[in-house]
Every structure is written in C-alpha cells, then in structure tokens.
Amino acid sequence: MNNPKQIGGLLKNILQEVGLWEQVQGNRLFLDWSSMVGEKIAAHVQPTRFDPDTCELWLEVENPVWRTEIINIREALIARLNERLGAKIIRNIRIM
C-alpha cells in the first residue's frame, strides 16, 4: 500500500503544476478557520473570500472593536495562518 504522505506530495505537485495549489489551500481556511485562529477570534471574525491570484484573505468582523484588533494583529495572523497552511499562501488581509 502507498504511503499517504507520498500520495499527498504527488497531489500537491500536480495541483502546483496546474496552478490550483493556492486555491485549494485557501479553501482550507474556510474549513479549518476555528482551529487555525482559535475559538475566541472565530466567534467574532469570519473569512468571506480568498483570492488566489492576489493571495488576499477577506475577513468580516463583528464590530469596530474586532476590526481594530485584527488590524493590530494582522501580520501575526498572516504568519500563523501561513504556518498552519504550510506555505506562504496569504500575503494580505482585507477587513470588511
């Protein structure tokens, strides 16, 4: 039986070759948001869009207080999300 890591690596290579890797990884943000950012942030901030062409993540915040909080932690949040995704997928966060 094939090793799942080998199959995952093959799938990643294929998706990178056809230019879909960033989009697939960006979609993980919507599925794993709460575990990636923690329940406290996830209760007040939700991803609404990921643009794989610009590598921008759009977030909807509950109120102006959370908007300010996300602005203050923007760089750390980008670094944390990219670490969880295993690559520099997100380059910018936009807040709605």
For the stretch 23-76, pLDDT in tens is 666 678 898 999 999 999 999 999 999 988 898 999 999 999 999 999 999 999
Taking phi over 0 as left and psi of -120 to 50 as alpha, with beta for the rest, 9 belongs to alpha
The pTM score is 0.77
Sorted by where each starts, the structural domains of the chain and their CATH numbers stand as 4-95 (3.30.300)
Q: CA geometry: angle at 30 spanning 28 and 35, to 5°?
A: 80
33: amino acid identity, one letter = W
29: CB partners within 8 A, 6+ apart: 36, 47, 50, 57, 81, 85, 90
